[in-house]
């Protein structure tokens, strides 16, 4: 066990220059005092000037997560990364596509056909999990204004496209979601967010994507 710990600490010292994101944690005075002293001692034997309290805490968390994930996988067959992916599939239940203005009015709002949307470039895994669809409208609107509940995705041989069939008429959002500081190019690819995020955002910067 000591050999493994020594190997870990040697790696910690060698890699302490690696950039890390800071975190905020609440600790009692005794733990903080010990962390600061351990950090001071590590700094005295490390060639890195960036060795800090944050470095020590973040490295400890990384090691805990690695060991915990390995234990869960080996002892209980639980894949943490797969569980995160599954949770994200449940959370991000809304797909966003982009459209030129006339195409949105004719198709999504149903001016010239039954309300639907196409083309839909969506992964098979997401296709069966998303529940809502929204469209980023290009200039001059440059906003997301409506959404619809999804009934199904269907391959249409006439259009030679995958079509999203709505479950009811499109609904207008409580307020338009303006582009904000993002580039319109951001929405050229398929995006996923949550309906909750969509209903509360006023700018696309405020949308949570996953």
**CA-to-CA distance for 44 and 128, rounded, in angstroms?**
56
In this prediction, residue 23 carries a pLDDT of 60
Rounded to two decimals, the pTM is: 0.68
The string of pLDDT tens digits covering residues 44-82 is: 887 765 678 887 888 888 889 999 999 999 999 999 988
C-alpha 191/C-alpha 19 separation (Å) is 29
Q: Look at residue 92 and give its three-state secondary structure.
A: coil
24 and 125, same structural domain? no
Residue that terminates a domain, selected from 78, 106, 121:
78
- pLDDT score for 184: 86
Same domain, 195 and 118: yes
Sign of CA dihedral 71, 76, 80, 82: positive
- Indicate the helix (H) or strand (E) that contains 73: helix 53-76
Show which of 36, 54, 78 is a domain's final residue.
Answer: 78
Q: Are 207 and 197 in contact (CB under 8 A)?
A: yes
Average pLDDT of the residues of the chain = 86
Point out the domain boundary residue: 78, 113, 129: 78
Cα gap 69→83, rounded to integer Å: 11
Pair 143, 100 in one domain:
yes
Same domain, 31 and 70: yes
pLDDT tens across 112-157, in order? 678 899 999 998 889 999 999 999 999 999 999 999 999 999 999 9
Cis peptide before 119 (omega within 30 of 0): yes
* Inside any domain, residue 86: no
Domain that holds residue 38: 2-78
Q: Which tokens hold the place of 192? A: 């996923």
Do 97 and 201 have their domain in common?
yes
Prior bond to 187 cis, omega within 30? no
Between 18-22, 35-39, 86-90, 120-124, the lowest mean confidence (pLDDT) is in 18-22
Q: Looking at the predicted structure, is the pLDDT value of residue 187 above 80? A: yes
Residue 169 is part of a domain; what is its CATH number?
Answer: 3.10.590.10
Maximum CA extent, the chain: 74
Q: Are 45 and 109 members of one domain?
A: no
Q: Note whether 67 and 151 are same-domain residues.
A: no
> Is 182 part of any domain?
yes
Residues 175 and 100 grouped into a single domain: yes
Claim to verify: residue 103 and residue 202 sit in the same structural domain = yes
Cα 193 to Cα 173: distance, rounded to the nearest angstrom: 15
Exposed/middle/buried for residue 13 (C-beta within 10 Å: 0-12, 13-18, 19+): middle
- The span from the CA of 40 to the CA of 56, in Å, is 11
| H helix or E strand, kind and range, residue 174 | strand 171-178
191 and 119 in a common domain: yes
C-alpha 107/C-alpha 93 separation (Å) is 22
Same domain, 25 and 125: no
Structural domain total, the chain: 2
Same domain (yes/no): 34, 136 = no
């Amino acid at each position: 066990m000591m050999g493994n710990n020594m190997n870990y600490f040697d790696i910690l010292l060698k890699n302490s220059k690696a950039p890390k994101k800071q975190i905020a944690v609440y600790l009692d005075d005794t733990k903080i005092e010990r962390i600061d002293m351990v950090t001071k001692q590590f700094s005295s034997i490390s060639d890195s000037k960036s060795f800090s309290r944050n470095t020590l805490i973040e490295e400890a968390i990384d090691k805990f997560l690695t060991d915990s994930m390995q234990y869960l996988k080996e002892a209980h067959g639980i894949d943490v990364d797969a569980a995160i992916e599954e949770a994200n599939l449940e959370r991000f239940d809304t797909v966003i596509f982009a459209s030129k203005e006339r195409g949105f009015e004719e198709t999504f709002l149903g001016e010239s056909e039954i309300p639907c949307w196409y083309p839909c470039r969506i992964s098979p895994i997401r296709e069966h999990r998303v529940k809502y669809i929204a469209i980023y409208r290009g200039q001059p609107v440059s906003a997301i204004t409506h959404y619809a509940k999804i009934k199904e995705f269907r391959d249409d041989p006439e259009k030679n496209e995958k079509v999203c069939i709505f479950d009811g008429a499109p609904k207008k959002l409580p307020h338009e979601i303006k582009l904000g500081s993002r580039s319109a190019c951001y929405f050229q690819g398929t995006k996923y967010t949550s309906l909750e995020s969509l209903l509360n955002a006023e700018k696309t910067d405020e949308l949570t994507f996953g």
